[in-house]
């Protein structure tokens, strides 16, 4: 971390995390310093994806010969990290700043500090990941497209959602759920692909039993899904590479063919946003599900989805040097550790809550939620802390998304947790980001929609005759 890049203590401190340094405050402080210095230059960051689409983000930085140029490095690295996991890309082009381009090339390389991202993005787009620099005027032009998703309600449908700790499924008739079930499972620690195949098929067939017939199946799951094929997903991290290629990439298509029913699967974050848009009957929705990890998705102001990754679980939100480290990506301060049951597990001992039997995270979350309902102040401070994280991160997300509605759902919002987090977040927006407070509505859906809404929305993904 550059000593010249200033981290900013939030005016509203996180009760259980006094070291929290919000990304939004550091970024805004940096950009203000650039403008005040008179040494600022324009910088463009272009990200190209496998289908040829290009996203371009415009910013400012200190000129390479500025006395404060060293501050550019952390700002640019964290910015590129966010953009990669928000928008995706196998090629990053830095226009207008050779110093930044050289730094990003080194960090995001096979043997650099962000080698995980280098490998991941290359795997997603099945191309070698590259970083290039160019003159500002030679930066690739934006070529982003959007498309509709789901909203097909007619017929007999099955919807399912695959989480890291449970599988949810629903039987849906003409857009209304008539049966729902949650089944615990532990997919990420399993090496035998049959475990996943049998578990997913079990959830689907259980729902089919509650329908006269089945016209279509729609699913939601973490990871990168293209045409219902999974390219990368933490749910399948334990599967050997050969078995992944042979049995997992096409697992959903294979199950659909075995059952004789058309099946469509999308990223769980996209389905989160779709669920929000459908339930609110509004567009410009950013949906965030706080479950075993953080899932995010985005519905544009015109009601479509983008071709972006929207994997905000791995996008940085906290810049403090001692931020917790994600076990998979090995990066620190990323969203999964702040907006999920992992956050509750991390904060519980800090709050003074420990259990002799050392329960796994889903059980620990349930116990903390029960304590919260009973008025335990230690549990309350956990959700207050997560609310502080949320307030500043909403402002951070608003620098990258155009949204007017933010849907907050998932297991962590059950009970009193959701209202507590929203109270803290709304207070921060009102006091510190009044323009955003006037623009953005924070919404938690009903208890039922919080827990199974994604499975219901997923059922609307496939288009069948008559839609």
- What tens digit of pLDDT does each residue of 212-253 get? 999 999 999 988 888 899 988 889 999 999 999 999 999 999
> Phi-psi region for residue 358, left (φ > 0), alpha (ψ -120 to 50) or beta?
left
Report the distance separating Cα 291 and Cα 283, nearest Å: 23
Q: Where are the alpha helices (DSSP H) in 11-97?
A: 23-37, 71-87
CB-facing half-sphere around the CA of 394: CA atoms within 13 A: 35
Are 343 and 413 contacting, i.e. CB atoms less than 8 angstroms apart? Answer: no
Distant-in-sequence, close-in-space partners of 192: CB < 8 Å, separation ≥ 6: none
Q: Tell me which residues of the chain have a pLDDT lower than 70.
A: 1-3, 446-454, 466-467
**Where do runs of H (alpha helix) occur along 38-155?**
71-87, 98-107, 115-125
Query: How do residues 370-413 score in pLDDT, each as one tens digit?
Result: 999 999 999 999 999 999 999 999 999 999 999 999 999 888 99
Q: Which pLDDT does position 1 carry in this prediction?
A: 43
What distance in Å separates the CA atoms of residue 315 and residue 291, rounded to the nearest whole number?
16
- What is the separation of C-alpha 466 from the centre of its chain, rounded to a whole number of angstroms? 33
Question: Where exactly are the structural domains of the chain?
Answer: 23-144, 145-467
**What DSSP assignment string belongs to 392-404?**
HHHHHHTTT---S
Q: Rounded distance, CA 354 to CA 359, Å?
A: 10
- Residue whose tokens read 């928008």: 87
CATH number of 145-467: 3.30.420.40
Indicate the pairing of strand 156-162 with strand 405-409.
Answer: unpaired
d(CA 84, CA 168): 29
The structure tokens 């290009």 sit at 54
Q: % helix / strand / coil in the chain, to the nearest 5?
A: 40, 20, 35
Helix axis angle, 251-259 relative to 193-208, nearest 10°?
40
| φ and ψ at residue 40, rounded to 5 degrees | -80, 145
Rounded Cα distance, 291 and 305, in Å: 22
Residues in Cβ contact with 263 at an 8 Å cutoff, skipping those fewer than 6 apart: 216, 217, 218, 219, 228, 252, 253, 255, 256, 462
Site of tokens 């160019």: 134
Using a 10 angstrom Cβ sphere, with 0-12 exposed, 13-18 middle and 19 or more buried, the burial of residue 18 is: exposed
pLDDT value at residue 466: 57
Torsion 327-313-77-120 (CA) sign? positive
Distance of CA 330 to the CA centre of its chain: 16
pLDDT attached to residue 410: 83
Under 8 Å CB-to-CB from 376, ≥6 apart: which residues? none
The CA-CA-CA angle for residues 330, 336, 339, to 5°, reads: 155
> Exposed/middle/buried for 280, CB within 10 Å: 0-12, 13-18, 19+?
middle
């Amino acid at each position: 971390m550059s000593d010249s890049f200033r981290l900013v203590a939030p005016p509203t401190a996180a009760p259980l995390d006094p070291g929290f340094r919000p990304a939004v405050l550091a970024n805004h402080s940096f950009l203000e310093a650039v403008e005040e210095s008179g040494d600022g230059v324009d910088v463009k960051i272009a990200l190209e994806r496998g289908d040829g689409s290009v996203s371009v983000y415009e910013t400012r930085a200190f000129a390479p010969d500025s006395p404060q140029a060293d501050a550019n490095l952390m700002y640019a690295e964290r910015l590129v990290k966010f953009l990669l996991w928000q928008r995706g890309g196998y090629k990053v082009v830095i226009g207008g700043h050779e110093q930044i381009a050289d730094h990003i090339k080194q960090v995001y390389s096979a043997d650099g500090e962000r080698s995980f991202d280098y490998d991941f993005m290359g795997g997603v787009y099945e191309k070698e990941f590259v970083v290039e620099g160019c003159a500002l005027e030679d930066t690739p032009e934006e070529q982003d497209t959007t498309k509709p998703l789901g909203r097909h309600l007619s017929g007999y449908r099955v919807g399912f959602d695959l989480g890291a700790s449970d599988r949810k499924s629903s039987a849906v008739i003409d857009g209304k759920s008539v049966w729902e079930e949650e089944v615990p499972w532990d997919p990420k620690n399993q090496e035998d692909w049959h475990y996943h195949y049998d578990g997913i098929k079990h959830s689907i067939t259980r729902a089919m039993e509650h329908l006269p017939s089945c016209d279509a199946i729609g699913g939601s799951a973490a990871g990168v899904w293209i045409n219902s094929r999974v390219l990368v997903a933490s749910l399948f991290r334990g599967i050997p590479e050969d078995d992944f290629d042979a049995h997992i990439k096409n697992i959903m298509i294979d199950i659909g063919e075995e059952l004789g029913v058309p099946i469509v699967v999308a990223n769980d974050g996209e389905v989160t946003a779709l669920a929000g848009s459908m339930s609110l009957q509004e567009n410009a929705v950013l949906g965030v599900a706080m479950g075993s990890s953080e899932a995010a998705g985005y519905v544009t102001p015109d009601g479509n989805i983008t071709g972006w990754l929207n994997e905000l679980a791995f996008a940085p939100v906290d810049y403090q040097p001692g931020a917790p480290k994600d076990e998979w990506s090995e990066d620190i301060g990323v969203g999964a550790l702040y907006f999920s049951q992992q956050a509750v597990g991390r904060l519980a001992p800090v709050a003074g809550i420990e259990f002799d039997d050392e329960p796994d995270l889903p059980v620990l979350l349930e116990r903390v939620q029960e304590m919260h309902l009973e008025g335990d102040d230690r549990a309350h401070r956990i959700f207050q802390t997560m609310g502080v994280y949320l307030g500043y991160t909403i402002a951070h997300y608003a620098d990258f998304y155009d949204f007017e509605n933010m849907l907050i759902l998932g297991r962590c919002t059950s009970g009193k947790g959701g209202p507590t987090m929203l109270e803290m977040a709304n207070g921060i927006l009102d006091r510190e980001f009044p323009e955003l407070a006037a623009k953005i509505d924070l919404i938690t859906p009903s208890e039922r929609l919080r827990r199974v809404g994604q499975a219901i929305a997923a059922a609307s993904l496939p288009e069948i005759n008559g839609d």
